A and B are shown apart, each in its own frame.
Chain A
Amino acid sequence: NAGVTQTPKFQVLKTGQSMTLQCAQDMNHEYMSWYRQDPGMGLRLIHYSVGAGITDQGEVPNGYNVSRSTTEDFPLRLLSAAPSQTSVYFCASSYGENTEAFFGQGTRLTVV
């Protein structure tokens, strides 16, 4: 099993550009989420999904969109990149109640 796969691993964007971070899992997990990790701020929840067709906002959703058309995929879209979105992004998935989250390898995004 591949687990949770994120692409790309590294990305540099110019301010105002848009892009999509890809996340796919092969464990048939219903619950998926996106976090950003900044120094001293821990893992902050951007958006999450509790199943195909269902998404909701987390703690820091502004500037990001998500969709969940299949159980496997949960892409994160940056609409118009800003330097404040420079961060490491992690996708995670789980079975749900009282179960561990499995993380992708992360995407290091720099917006210049």
Chain B
Amino acid sequence: GENVEQHPSTLSVQEGDSAVIKCTYSDSASNYFPWYKQELGKRPQLIIDIRSNVGEKKDQRIAVTLNKTAKHFSLHITETQPEDSAVYFCASQVAGGSYIPTFGRGTSLIVHP
């Protein structure tokens, strides 16, 4: 089955810095790559997603890039703020499969004021 690796497991930055979280996937048939943010004690919620026919997508301070050849995708957060502190999960979905996402292990992002 699909395997998603996520790095780093913990990321500590100063407010205003950029943060990058990287994920790799194993199944070349994967075609949908969502990112979820989970604040402490809350449920995961989608923040951005990308489909395999797109190389990059931006939404204000966050962006996601996808390299299908290398089977990796990344989340970029610019001008980080303390409220960006959370656990971030990448995920992938396999086309023609169960359409149930496979998640990475998560990255705990800490933004220091």
B residues bordering A, Cβ < 8 Å? 1, 6, 9, 31-32, 34, 36, 42-46, 49, 51, 89, 91, 93, 95, 98-106
**Contact partners of A99 in chain B: CB under 8 A:** 99
A58 → chain B closest CB, angstroms: 7
Which among B1, B44, B46, B91 has the highest number of chain A CB atoms within 10 Å?
Answer: B44
With both chains docked as a complex, state the minimum distance between the C-beta of A83 and any C-beta of chain B, in angstroms.
22
Minimum Cβ distance to chain B for residue A55 (Å)? 11
Q: Does A33 make an interface contact (CB < 8 A)?
A: yes
Cα distance, A98 to B53, chains bound together (Å): 12
**Can you name 7 extra interface pairs (CB under 8 A) apart from A31-B100, A90-B43, A97-B95?**
A42-B106, A59-B1, A94-B99, A97-B32, A98-B31, A101-B91, A103-B44
When the two chains form their complex, are residues B99 and A50 in contact, meaning their CB atoms are under 8 A apart?
yes
- State in angstroms the CA–CA spacing of A98 and B103 once bound together: 15
Count residues on chain A whose CB falls below 8 Å from chain B CBs.
26
Q: Across the interface, which residues of B come within 8 angstroms of A41, CB to CB?
A: 105
Interface string of A42-59 (1 = CB under 8 A from B): 111100101000001011
Is A8 in contact with chain B by the CB < 8 A criterion? Answer: no
Q: Which residues of B contact A33 (CB under 8 A)?
A: 100
The answer to whether B100 touches A43 (Cβ under 8 A) is no
Task: Tell me which of A35, A43, A44, A98 contacts B93 (CB under 8 A).
Answer: A98
User: Are A40 and B9 neighbours in the complex by a CB distance under 8 Å?
Assistant: yes
Cβ contacts under 8 Å, B42 to chain A: 105
User: Most chain-B Cβ atoms within 10 A of its Cβ — which of A33, A44, A99, A100?
Assistant: A100
> Given B6, B9, B46, B95, which contacts A100 in the complex, CB threshold below 8 Å?
B46
| A42 contacts B89, C-beta separation under 8 Å | yes
Residues of chain A with a CB closer than 8 A to B95's CB = 97
Asked if A63 is an interface residue, CB under 8 A from chain B, the answer is no
Does the CB pair A43–B34 fall under 8 Å?
no
Quick one: closest A residue to B51, CB to CB?
A: A98
How far is A71 from B32 in the complex, measured between Cα atoms in Å? 24
Distance of A59 Cα from B98 Cα, bound (Å): 13
Task: Across the A-B interface, give the 5 residue pairs with the lowest CB-CB distance, nearest first.
Answer: A42-B105, A103-B43, A100-B46, A43-B103, A98-B32
